Amino acid sequence: MSPQRSTRPAPDEGVDALLVEPAERRGGTSHGVPTQADVARLAGVSAQTVSRVVTGTARVDELTRERVQASMRELGYRPNRAARALRSARYRSIGVIMSDLTSYGSVRTWEAISRAGAASGYAVALVPTARFDRSAVAEAIERARDQAVDGLVIAIGDHLSAGEDLPLPDDLPAVVVDASALEDRSFVDTDQTMGAGQAVGHLLALGHRTVHHVAGPESSYSAVRREQGWRAALVEAGCETPPLERGDWSAESGYAAGCRLRDLPDMTAVFAANDQMALGVLRALHEADIPVPALVSVVGFDDMPEAAQFWPPLTSVHQEFEEVGRAAVDVLLARIDDVDAVHRLLVPTRLVVRGSTSTAPRKATS
């Protein structure tokens, strides 16, 4: 009986010898399963350059990187993530903790973070949490650690319970999305206040005396920021601030708010904190034979793709979800390189004007 061949690397091979899957190692040579040497020959570069591309531990010219990656694809070369972690002390993986996977904004944020992570060569692991209190977040962080991640993006959405602080880890780089109240931590957020100001400013410029607001839930950072922006814009313009209506982000709650607002005799403009609630407002006005925008103008927030298909097409504040996701990943990778760095970034919004807004009716401006 022939002796079994050892699967351990020879003494002079070191960690580099593990950079292909163990099963592939048993396949053996450059004429069987591809190796780094095969990739180097095809790409016309050194084996060290291939190793740098695989591990991401050193800067490589972009054209050279693309040539090496093309050679990897052509040969079917597959680096082993565990070996890269041994060599670089990094897993090339990030965790994303999210408390809401149902709203349009949270889904778009998750998609954007996933794409940005993949573009940077990182695997992205979703760690959902049904609740958002201190213990639930701490538990989610521990679950993320079990998945061997280099850092965390925490898309929190909601406030913690009163008096509780976000339990961010001190020994694991993290960036928070949608929490600009955390002034001593790294965060990336849409400039919610700016967006609300754009909506209100647009309506006031059209001659409306004031703007009614259908706000999101009080537990939401985004809703609070948009409400603050609405209120500040009216105060700055010297306009009356009417009582707000409160919704829960759903079209149903927007419809209920719209049914209450349509009974107000001098109501001519509504700013809803998201497009779905704006859709409900439009339905409530339509059922009461109140034409939009001839008598009432309506603005939403998010600029979801369907907003252009509402009737009338909805004027809305556009959020740059792709930019927020890319920035969150960029900030996290910067923190992985320098754990003491603190980065704070607000991504600007822009107003997309469509058919749901127009000049205030004459009776409101006379």
18 vs 288 pLDDT, higher one: 288
Which tokens in the block code for residue 108?
């778009």
CA dist 85 and 83 (Å) reads 5
Amino acid 236: pLDDT: 97
Cβ neighbors of 163 (< 8 A, separation 6 or more) are none
Same-domain pairing of 210 and 280: yes
Instruction: Find out whether 254 and 281 touch, Cβ atoms under 8 Å.
Output: yes
Query: Which of these three, 38, 60, 88, is where a domain ends?
Result: 88
CA dist 309 and 312 (Å) reads 8
Instruction: Find out whether 97 and 137 touch, Cβ atoms under 8 Å.
Output: yes
DSSP state letter for 185: S
Q: Helix (H, G, I), strand (E, B), or coil: what is residue 248?
A: coil
* Residue range 141-151: mean pLDDT, rounded: 87
Other CB atoms closer than 10 Å to residue 333's CB: what's the count? 19
pLDDT in tens, 1-23: 444 433 334 333 333 433 333 33
- Distance spanning both ends of the chain, measured CA to CA: 103
Amino acid 364: pLDDT: 54
Residue-number span of the structural domain to which 98 is assigned: 93-186+321-347
Q: What is each CA distance from 274 to 58, 133, 150, 270, in whole angstroms?
A: 44, 24, 34, 12
Least confident range of 73-77, 208-212, 338-342:
338-342
2 within some domain: no
Same-domain pairing of 19 and 126: no
**pTM (2 decimals)?**
0.72
Number of independent structural domains in the chain: 3
Same-domain pairing of 110 and 225: no
279 vs 3 pLDDT, higher one: 279
pLDDT in tens, 81-105: 545 544 445 678 999 998 777 778 8
Same-domain pairing of 152 and 60: no
pLDDT in tens, 110-139: 999 999 998 888 999 999 887 777 788 888
Query: Which of these three, 50, 66, 88, is where a domain ends?
Result: 88
Same-domain pairing of 204 and 314: yes
Domain at 24, CATH number: 1.10.260.40
Domain at 257, CATH number: 3.40.50.2300
Which tokens in the block code for residue 254?
């927007």
